[in-house]
Amino acid sequence: MLGALNKIQIHMKCKLCYNDKELKNSHIIPEFFYKPLYDEKHRFNVIPLSEDQKFRYEQKGLRERLLCGDCENKLSKWEDYVRRIFYGGKEILITNGNPIKIEGIDYAKFKLFQLSLLWRASVSKLDFFKDVSLGPHEEKIRQMLLNEKPGSRFKYPCFFIMVLMEKNKVLDDFIYPPNTMKIEGHRTYRFIFGGGFWIYFVSSHTQMLNTSKISEFFLNEEGRLLIPLRPADKIEFFINLAKDVVKYNKHKNGP
């Protein structure tokens, strides 16, 4: 009886291709980005949103039944490509400095990976992603993913800022719920994982960003990505976070 019930629950419409198939329990943010967070017991630390929230340990990354096996495979090919750029195994030209310059990237694979993350977060019903809601852009991005059309560099562009906690030590030990804000008049969504901020521009007039200095940091069609390095103590978010953690610890330890 219980088995039959489980079967009903996992046969649903895939969020990407709309076929009625068995849905996989997919991750939203690929697990390789959690890796630095895992302790020896395979738990990761989720930083509290506010002083009232507890530190939570989870046995696995955040998962949800969103995609059929075919769509999951499609997305995991892009993920695998990006994983090999960031975590080794991919022959690619990286020039150190600030910004870090990466050349020879497969534009379509990398861009589709970026878009797939944003889209999954929007489709997700998990509380962690509640601030990501793309409205009409969700369907536009679904079509791009389904048809494997990455669009131009100005179509839903994203830039990545690597955060330095200390000299030469990159932030690699936490993820944080994504949130939304306006930058240069555009709606953006900020994700934190894989050592820094991923900032997505989601509006219909992002072409206007071609005159902005920010656009230097968008992955371009020639496969070049510039990644600026910023010290955490120069970023307002981390200054505020440090204050929150102090407050949280005080709260936890009583008055």
Q: Point out which residues bind Zn ion (CB under 5 A).
A: 14, 16-17, 68, 71
Q: Minimal CA–CA distance to 175: which of 197, 198, 193?
A: 193
Q: Which is nearer to Zn ion, 26 or 206 (CB)?
A: 26
Place of tokens 């936890």: 252
Please report how close the Cβ of residue 78 comes to Zn ion at its closest, in angstroms: 15
65: left (phi over 0), alpha (psi -120 to 50) or beta: beta
Structure tokens at 175: 């993820």
Please report how close the Cβ of residue 74 comes to Zn ion at its closest, in angstroms: 8
Cα dihedral 23→28→29→34 (10° resolution): -70
Please report how close the Cβ of residue 130 comes to Zn ion at its closest, in angstroms: 24
CA 92 to CA 63: how far, in whole Å? 31
Please report how close the Cβ of residue 23 comes to Zn ion at its closest, in angstroms: 8
Q: Which is nearer to Zn ion, 73 or 204 (CB)?
A: 73
CA 191 to CA 132: how far, in whole Å? 10
Q: Which is nearer to Zn ion, 71 or 202 (CB)?
A: 71
Q: Which is nearer to Zn ion, 121 or 162 (CB)?
A: 121
Residue type, 88: G
Q: Which is nearer to Zn ion, 146 or 181 (CB)?
A: 146
Structure tokens at 120: 């999954």
Please report how close the Cβ of residue 149 comes to Zn ion at its closest, in angstroms: 17
Please report how close the Cβ of residue 34 comes to Zn ion at its closest, in angstroms: 24
Q: Which is nearer to Zn ion, 16 or 175 (CB)?
A: 16
In contact, 193 and 73? CB cutoff 8 Å: no
Please report how close the Cβ of residue 129 comes to Zn ion at its closest, in angstroms: 19
Instruction: Identify whether 30 is preceded by a cis peptide bond (ω within 30 of 0).
Output: no
In sign, the C-alpha dihedral spanning 134, 201, 26, 173 is negative
Q: Which is nearer to Zn ion, 115 or 192 (CB)?
A: 115
- As a residue count, the chain comes to 255
